[in-house]
A and B are shown apart, each in its own frame.
Chain A
């Protein structure tokens, strides 16, 4: 999805706010939107693309430290009786290579695609991608139709079936809405890593800005062979895997 065309909106804003205009030829004016509307605090930047590299050669079978950290940070308490209805922002999956029998384990979550199918199919605009590449659900507009869950090739989203009381104040979540990994957006906005990255005892998760050449993740991606899961779909995922 491309960014909305704001030309008309900016023109209307400028007309309303009495912004500075500059005549460059008779009948043609350059219009600049008033700086009064400029945001005061640091916002999600389009120059940044958040991503994660998972080193599956380090990820230990049977370890679920990342999942526990995710649950603690995001206030997920598994009270729901039916395990199929439990929220699953991050899950561990074990893989066995047929033929060789090689086993390995990896965490699977929202891949924060550059071209997210969940955003394409959302009928209300609730599923959206932030300027810095994080794919989120706006629960204020989510109607719980679950199209995004069907569109997601990674089964990364869950639906909340029952009323909740255990929310973290920074992570609102509730019945009737779809949800998924947010890269712990509330932590990122304060300059921290996602909870799973800090919790991994093997340091198998590297998080950072894919667009910044000097970031640890960009350097490592330059060094090692990495894979995007279902690269054939050309979704340009933000989460990359090493060793699968």
Chain B
């Protein structure tokens, strides 16, 4: 009995060591600064933690109440953060949204419906055919 307890205690002590060893394996996401010199709608710490809540509240206001050109906007995110090479925020692990979501293993559903590529916004706003 006491031997079993000793073994368990050893195992518990050793767990943090295993954890530390594994943490080094997943490469940190490489985030490219969107447009140096420009300012996001909130500091990075807040955006990292709360962007999903901001978007979730705004989507209902936009769709159900018709509130356009609000401060929080998914198209706004995309216009700034789309990759300079692919023009999108998803598609590869170097692209802005997917980089962190792949690292954090959080499924990204937005772009099943929303357009992940930048560059269409001006054409649509002016009513010109694309």
* Cβ contacts under 8 Å, B120 to chain A: 168-169
* Cβ contacts under 8 Å, B70 to chain A: 41
- B66 to A185, Cβ gap below 8 A? yes
Q: Chain A's nearest CB lies how many Å from the CB of B97?
A: 14
* Cβ contacts under 8 Å, A140 to chain B: 59-60, 63
The proximity string for A residues 186-215 relative to B, scoring 1 for CB distances below 8 Å and 0 otherwise, is 110110100000100000000000000000
**B129 contact from A72, A130, A175, Cβ within 8 A:** A72
Task: Verify if B121 is at the interface (C-beta below 8 Å from A).
Answer: yes
- A187 to B127, Cβ gap below 8 A? yes
Task: Verify if B21 is at the interface (C-beta below 8 Å from A).
Answer: no
* Cβ contacts under 8 Å, B67 to chain A: 39, 41, 43
**A43 contact from B66, B114, B129, Cβ within 8 A:** B66
CA distance A185 to B63 in the complex (A): 9
CA distance A179 to B130 in the complex (A): 22
CA distance A56 to B127 in the complex (A): 26
Task: Verify if B10 is at the interface (C-beta below 8 Å from A).
Answer: no
**A175 contact from B66, B112, B115, B121, Cβ within 8 A:** B112
CA distance A238 to B107 in the complex (A): 40
- B114 to A169, Cβ gap below 8 A? yes
**A169 contact from B61, B69, B78, B129, Cβ within 8 A:** B78
Task: Verify if B9 is at the interface (C-beta below 8 Å from A).
Answer: no
A-B contact count (CB 8 A): 71
Q: Chain A's nearest CB lies how many Å from the CB of B65?
A: 5
Chain A positions 114-169 with a Cβ under 8 Å from a chain B Cβ: 128, 130-132, 136, 138-140, 163-164, 167-169
- B65 to A43, Cβ gap below 8 A? yes
- A44 to B65, Cβ gap below 8 A? yes
Given contacts A41-B68, A72-B130, contact A136 B63 (CB under 8 A): yes
CA distance A139 to B129 in the complex (A): 25
* Cβ contacts under 8 Å, A169 to chain B: 75, 78, 114-115, 117, 120-121, 124
* Cβ contacts under 8 Å, A177 to chain B: 113
- B129 to A190, Cβ gap below 8 A? no
* Cβ contacts under 8 Å, B113 to chain A: 139, 164, 167, 172-174, 177
Task: Verify if A78 is at the interface (C-beta below 8 Å from B).
Answer: no
* Cβ contacts under 8 Å, B61 to chain A: 39
- A130 to B64, Cβ gap below 8 A? yes
- B112 to A190, Cβ gap below 8 A? no
**Closest B residue by C-beta to A187:** B127
- B75 to A189, Cβ gap below 8 A? no
CA distance A192 to B117 in the complex (A): 25
**B127 contact from A41, A139, A167, A192, Cβ within 8 A:** A192
* Cβ contacts under 8 Å, A198 to chain B: 127
Q: Which 7 A-B pairs have the closest CB atoms?
A: A174-B113, A44-B66, A172-B113, A167-B115, A169-B115, A174-B112, A172-B114
The interface of chain A, by Cβ under 8 A from chain B, is 39, 41, 43-44, 72, 75, 128, 130-132, 136, 138-140, 163-164, 167-170, 172-177, 185-187, 189-190, 192, 198
